[in-house]
Structure 1
């Protein structure tokens, strides 16, 4: 499921993203991506950069990155997805206020229930007969009325909630860039406030089963950030000194799945405070935030699992977390190469490239980028041992998404 910032390219990348979301809802994207990848087979390894600190979003010719000069304002059309198969996030990239919408793939409303329809077997023969008679419309009507489960619909897959980061004084950001690097599986945001440069990186680690957010700046002691966790309904958020914030709850008015998310800070310098429902980091040189989440799906203890995952990841350095992520992710994403030429276009922001395409220009590299973006979504949506990707992949906003 949703990547650019307040685009003029609403008929460009935003439209492409919207189309991808629609295709996902019908299951088509997953089929298309899998089919294209299978038809291409394992070609060659591309030579994309895997540097931990890229200098400029569009600096490398042929770089497989989607990048913009503005933050996102719309979930479906603009926010950038990260995922490890189970845990996902949609990154908006606001300089002064970051929103990362969260998903955990087992967080479904409802419970096991009997949906068997005893009328189905009685009418199956009629539906088959109508099909063989060349009457598909009539067969469909019979199937809709008698062959579907009862009830027909499932309870919804729900958003886990939102991680919000407030960065005081960053409203006047300049030289802004936001990027999804498909080769690294990392979303980055960089900008300048006065003479100080700020950077954040976000990725979802499959080896460590956490979402990782890294904030740095060029000025010692220049990182101050206030973090909160919230949800539309059925949640309680509270601080756990010295360095944790916890959100937990139970769906369906206390009758459904239990869930818990844990945010833990690992600052480099500075101070950490946990007043009430907020986690504060003040005057740090840098800080790594790790977010874990779990539900009671399958009978596990959501609190125990999420707290253990957060504590284990927080003991690692950011370099170690990133290295483990890249070692796991890159062999998978690099299995397929598609070269169509036009790599020089990668130095331009994605929305500008799409505007030129709309005006009749050519950009074959954009087609390769779009193909790899589809592979990225599928890889980020489901891994062995996790639930299959649903019709929106892993990502969904709200309590009752389409």
Structure 2
């Protein structure tokens, strides 16, 4: 295991924390551009939320306004009779159907359940922006534990490795849960040293009962599939079911555990949902599992580091105190200067672009690609008054012109 001790230095591009993320949005994000993950929670039940950028409510439909001539006649009558609020509602029926966009939705979450309670002062989690890695380290008695994760644009999967510096100390339960209607939930561990959890479902149709009459509901047509592949060195893997029937995997007394997570939908384009989500997901995960963890990590680094390293920013200031990121934010809000944190903030914007706006992906919908519910902020949509534009401000200025591809596709 690598040493978990790090020294803060000028230009360091690592955000780190002494406490687990108790709130979802305090978690550390990962992304392949298409697939998004958020790591949060304590070591006893650390969670990795998995989303696909194409998982939306609704489906292909004809947006042409129906009965437009009659609507205009009713609208005129309402205006002439002074019923302006009713006229406003009637006018919205002329802007296309539905008048509001669909809602981006979360796919599922992987739970790593182990009951671990770190020794006081030993816990640390961090986001290494320079390498695109999320790491968690802690100690329980004589044993040091390390969890390392990354999202590979090259292989389109999220990869996690769990290690302990003494043999046979990794025992945990792997559970996948979702807020969506489930059509498949299975686990298997045929050889006792590796296993899979397969989870499939359908997007949730959005009904806005009680809202304005023009809020038409488009039937849900998007299906999705998620797949976890787990393998261990030493110990064993067993397929099980929870009391409620949820499929899971039990890892016992392993030395090293590697998890490969994938997800996909049936979306081909905005007007085509004919893809096989399960086959797509299997293809990505099985291809990744044919490589070792070290090989997958190197492929990720070979892709990511040259892009991230194109831009650097240095603001002269004495070395900051050795404080975690949460403590530094408190000091900043109190009016204290921390130019290093501002440098990290600029680089964090670039990190998020590489996680959410790679070539071939949809446009970056702000932070919503990482949401954990079925109704994101502003419904997860591309809000054109400022949010979409602001997401792309750093692109050319900071050496990431490839990330503009997703925005240009959206404009076209």
TM-score, normalised with respect to structure 1: 0.77
| TM-superposition CA deviations, 1:217-268 (whole Å, max 9, x none) | 1111111121111111312422123310111112247952121111001211
Whole-angstrom distance in 2 between the partners of 1:319 and 1:112:
41
1:213 deviation in Å?
0.9
Secondary structure of 1:154's counterpart equals coil
Structure 2 residue aligned with 1:113, among 53, 61, 65? 61
Secondary structure of 1:384's counterpart equals coil
Aligned twin of 2:397: none
1:350 deviation in Å?
0.8
1:172 deviation in Å?
5.1
Secondary structure of 2:345's counterpart equals helix
Task: Work out whether residues 57 and 177 of structure 1, in 8 Å CA contact, stay in contact via their aligned partners in 2.
Answer: no
Task: Work out whether residues 72 and 93 of structure 1, in 8 Å CA contact, stay in contact via their aligned partners in 2.
Answer: yes
Secondary structure of 1:189's counterpart equals strand
Whole-angstrom distance in 2 between the partners of 1:251 and 1:93:
25
Aligned twin of 1:329: 304
Aligned twin of 1:380: 355
Whole-angstrom distance in 1 between the partners of 2:230 and 2:296:
14
Secondary structure of 2:313's counterpart equals coil
| 1:262 paired to 2:214 | no
Whole-angstrom distance in 1 between the partners of 2:44 and 2:123:
12
Aligned twin of 2:95: 148
Aligned twin of 1:37: none
Secondary structure of 1:215's counterpart equals strand
| TM-superposition CA deviations, 1:186-208 (whole Å, max 9, x none) | 11110111111101011111111
1:400 deviation in Å?
1.4
Whole-angstrom distance in 2 between the partners of 1:187 and 1:383:
19
Structure 2 residue aligned with 1:272, among 223, 237, 244? 237
Task: Work out whether residues 187 and 198 of structure 2, in 8 Å CA contact, stay in contact via their aligned partners in 1.
Answer: yes
1:145 deviation in Å?
4.4
- In the TM superposition, 1:3-402 aligns within 5 A as 53=2, 55-76=4-25, 78-117=26-65, 145=92, 148-170=95-117, 174-235=121-182, 236-242=184-190, 243-252=195-204, 255-276=220-241, 277-298=247-268, 299-342=274-317, 344-345=319-320, 347-392=322-367, 394-402=369-377
Secondary structure of 2:294's counterpart equals helix
Secondary structure of 2:200's counterpart equals strand
TM-score, normalised with respect to structure 2: 0.75
Whole-angstrom distance in 2 between the partners of 1:63 and 1:348:
13
Aligned twin of 1:49: none
Unaligned runs of 5+ in 2: 73-87, 206-218, 242-246, 269-273, 378-412
- For these two proteins, the number of residue pairs brought into alignment is 332
1:387 deviation in Å?
1.6
Whole-angstrom distance in 2 between the partners of 1:171 and 1:273:
26
Aligned twin of 1:133: none
1:143 deviation in Å?
12
1:53 deviation in Å?
4.1
1:54 deviation in Å?
6.0
Whole-angstrom distance in 1 between the partners of 2:341 and 2:332:
9
Secondary structure of 2:24's counterpart equals coil
Unaligned runs of 5+ in 1: 1-51, 124-140
Secondary structure of 1:198's counterpart equals strand
Higher relative CO (Cα under 8 Å, sequence separation at least 6) belongs to 1
Whole-angstrom distance in 1 between the partners of 2:321 and 2:4:
14
Task: Work out whether residues 249 and 259 of structure 1, in 8 Å CA contact, stay in contact via their aligned partners in 2.
Answer: yes
Q: Which has the larger radius of gyration?
A: 2
Aligned twin of 2:409: none
Secondary structure of 1:394's counterpart equals helix
Whole-angstrom distance in 1 between the partners of 2:282 and 2:355:
23
